Amino acid sequence: MPPRPIVKYGHPVLHAPSAPVSALDDQTRNLVADMVDTMYAAPGIGLAAPQIGVALRVIVIDLSVGADKGQLITLVNPEFVEREGEQRHEEGCLSVPGYGGSPVRPARVTVRGLDLEGNERIYTATELLARAFCHEIDHIDGFLFVDRLTPLKRDLLKRKLKKRAKSGDWEE
C-alpha cells in the first residue's frame, strides 16, 4: 500500500483526543499497515493514527525504522501504567516538519495496550523508546511536542507554526 499523506500542525485531528478502537477487525489491521508503511516511507521512528487523519487510539513505533522487523511495536488503545523520573532531549515530529524542541519527558515509562491479535502487551522503556511512547500517546490525546515546551518557547514556536499552517505550505 502506498504511504498516506501526513497531516500537519493546525489540522483539527491533531489537536483533539482520539477515540478508543472498539474492535480489532480488518479495518484496524489495514489502518496499522498503512501507518507502518507511512512511518517507514517518511522515514520516522513512530506514528500515531491521527497523523494520517484517523482519530483512533493506535500507535506504531520502530526505533530501527524497518531495519529490524523485531523492533516494530503496534499498540491499540495504549495507556500509561507508570511514569517516573525526567529526561529532556530534542524531538521532532512528522506533523511539524522542519521544527524541533526539547520537552521534558519521564525517564522511564510502563505502557500497556493491545496488539493486533487482541493480546495485552506491556512495555517498560527508558531513553529514546520512553520518549517515543510519550510522543505517540500525546498524539492520540491531542498534544504535540510543541504543547510540552516551556511557555516562552511554546508561544514563540506556536506563532511561527500558525503562520506556516495558514499559508498551507508545509514543504521543507
Who's near 155: CB < 8 A, 6+ residues apart? none
- The helix or strand, by DSSP H or E, that contains position 61, with its residue range, turns out to be strand 58-61
In the complex, least distance from residue 37 CB atom to Zn ion, rounded to whole angstroms: 17
Q: Which is nearer to Zn ion, 61 or 93 (CB)?
A: 93
CB of 44 to Zn ion, least distance (A): 8
Question: Among residues 99 and 123, whose Cβ is nearest to Zn ion?
Answer: 99
Instruction: Please work out, in degrees rounded to the nearest 5, the angle formed at the alpha carbon of residue 70 by the alpha carbons of 125 and 32.
Output: 85
**Angstrom distance (rounded) from CA 58 to CA 76:** 5
Catalytic residue among 117, 136, 171, 172: 136
Closest alpha carbon to 129 in 109, 145, 144:
109
- Whole-number Å distance between alpha carbons of 93 and 144: 8
Nearest distance from residue 159's CB to Zn ion, in Å?
Answer: 20
> Which amino acid is located at 97 in the chain?
P
**136 tagged catalytic:** yes
The residues of the shown chain that bind Zn ion, judged by CB under 5 A, are: 93
Q: Which residue has the cell 500558525?
A: 162
Closest CB to Zn ion among 50 and 113?
Answer: 50
Distance CA 139, CA 137 (A): 5
Query: Among all residues, whose Cβ is closest to Zn ion?
Result: 93
In the complex, the smallest distance separating the C-beta of residue 51 from Zn ion, rounded to whole angstroms, is 6
Nearer to Zn ion, 60 or 93 (CB): 93
Residues marked active site are found at 136
